[in-house]
Structure 1
């Protein structure tokens, strides 16, 4: 009896190990993120110079967990949880009151017909803004991000540069280089079914060319954190952006155009924005240059011009050092600038 038990125990262990390996082959989870810090000097528009050890000169620091489970027949269950943190003081979030998983928190399914997810999700308009400028998603050095999401004189796009809460997003399968994406965010306010955000996007990609057209509309009325909170009488903002990038030899060219229309009881107005940029490989690194210009029309007439130049140098596949300078000019405000150097590592 004891001999039979001794023989059965290794057999059971082997069966458990085999089952575990099978399960692992059908599902996975991954820990990842980046840590980015820079030192420099910053003078915001209309303010005084401050010397800073800042977070996210190239990309905001964050960590995340994502996973998949194979459901068979070409279907996968998927999830993603991502949290921002400030590398200079160790606090979570981008600002006081930011949620723990404020970067992304969603669950959904991959299928032969595309992807459908629900939760807190990055806006399609945000993705359009960051992928078609050489400074990507930098709130410190990217003119495109600053003009779109760091508003002065009533310019900029509402809905937040961060993720949309209470959101459903559909991404179609890629067919012939084309993809269609759609997004809807519920307002969640009782008695206000029309308070929502929605967006649609058409994307084209091939080996050298990438282009997109994205439309976004928001109808949140004085919701905290939204554009409407600083615009009394706000009812609707509509924004459309077209962007493209093209790579030829050592040069990658970027261009964007954006039109934003604001419906406000005291008098609506619109804003035109354009950005041109380039990433030029030089040695092992790249020279980055970008210039963005915004001009308000309708009931307003403000302008803003922001330029930026920098250099990225890879120390390895995961770690990059960088330096950049930015100049900022806007109507009725003293000029601003940022100069800094930093290091970014992925994990």
Structure 2
């Protein structure tokens, strides 16, 4: 009897703590159809999920600690609406806890996941990081993940906000061995990552600059598309119902080599004279037009050029959304990527379009799935449409 009586004050304490805070369940579901041509094995038509934004659900909460300070937490999971399967571990997208105060800012620790600092770059993207967007020509580099980290975001000082993120390796070797992995072609363990972001908002204009680093399991920058240094800067500017976007990104991976990636200095997967790129420049220009309270349209052009003979690619996009309510909307986007003779960037997301030849060029070592990058100098086109509801 005594042990049950002990539960009474514990339950009362829990209820009191809950009364001083809140817990919210949130999420969104994205499902649609997609058609793409110019793939290694022809064309693809099928169901698609997450083309506007990944389907996810989460729990977030706050507790008032007094003096304007709150304890905060977020647990977030991604999933596929096609199969119902989780996108990774249960709370792979985010698992953080921290403190926030309007005077000194916000501090978080834990699994940053899909909220690695580079992903704030959607503020610079006319397509808001849809499937065909700021991530396409860099093969998913801007969708990087982060584990074992901590993050600080300052309050807004006259329009200026600073943000920093540092992700520990949890390894006995400095820079190496983070068990989290990004969406890129190499996968596997990830080393230390870190970044800093500066944002300035004034009137109709927002300026942003982000610098981040992601290392491989040996602590090196060995692939511009996965483990590299990134410097990005850009702005958006609103003129009535139109918002104009412009941006630039430079990626650097000085330790990249054919031997390290392909296991050979002269891989058959590459055109003659081409070696793994150690630098890439990426720029874009676009606009969003809020035509009515319900309908908006987007258009953008992205261009990327990689060194060491890897050529360039250009992506053209058109998109639109139509709001059915405050929480539900329809969306669609058309994209076309054109490659120079030694480039083979596709419309994929970094998970399915590895660097190098596809199965048409190199059956022995090329990708074996249906959705792959095009032949060198090839073109891919795609269109998708779907519906999103948020809760």
Fold similarity call, TM over 0.5: yes
In the alignment of these two chains, the number of paired residues is: 313
Q: Give the TM-score, by structure 1 length.
A: 0.82
Give, in whole Å, the separation in 1 of the partners of 2:301 and 2:169: 35
Matches within 5 A, 1:1-347: 23-43=17-37, 46-93=40-87, 98-111=88-101, 112-121=103-112, 122-128=115-121, 130-138=122-130, 140-142=131-133, 144-150=134-140, 157=141, 161-193=143-175, 195-221=191-217, 228=222, 237-264=228-255, 266=257, 269-283=278-292, 284-297=294-307, 299-330=308-339, 331=343, 332-347=376-391
* Residue aligning to 2:188: none
- What is the CA deviation profile of residues 256-293 of structure 1, one whole-angstrom value per residue up to 9, with x for unaligned ones? 10011111264762111001111112233011111110
- What is the CA deviation profile of residues 82-137 of structure 1, one whole-angstrom value per residue up to 9, with x for unaligned ones? 100101111111xxxx2221111111110221111011111111112x12112213
| 1:32 Cα deviation after fit | 0.5
Q: 1:67 to 1:257 in 2, by over 3 A?
A: same
| Alpha-carbon RMSD | 2.8
| 1:43 Cα deviation after fit | 3.4
Give, in whole Å, the separation in 2 of the partners of 1:54 and 1:115: 36
- Kept after mapping to 2: 8 A contact 1:46/1:336: no
- Kept after mapping to 1: 8 A contact 2:221/2:229: no
Of Structure 1 and Structure 2, the greater strand share is in 1
SS for the counterpart of 1:264 is: coil
| 1:323 Cα deviation after fit | 1.8
Q: 1:45 to 1:113 in 2, by over 3 A?
A: farther
SS for the counterpart of 1:254 is: strand
Unaligned regions of 5+ residues in structure 2, if any?
Answer: 1-10, 177-190, 258-275, 344-375
Q: Give the TM-score, by structure 2 length.
A: 0.73
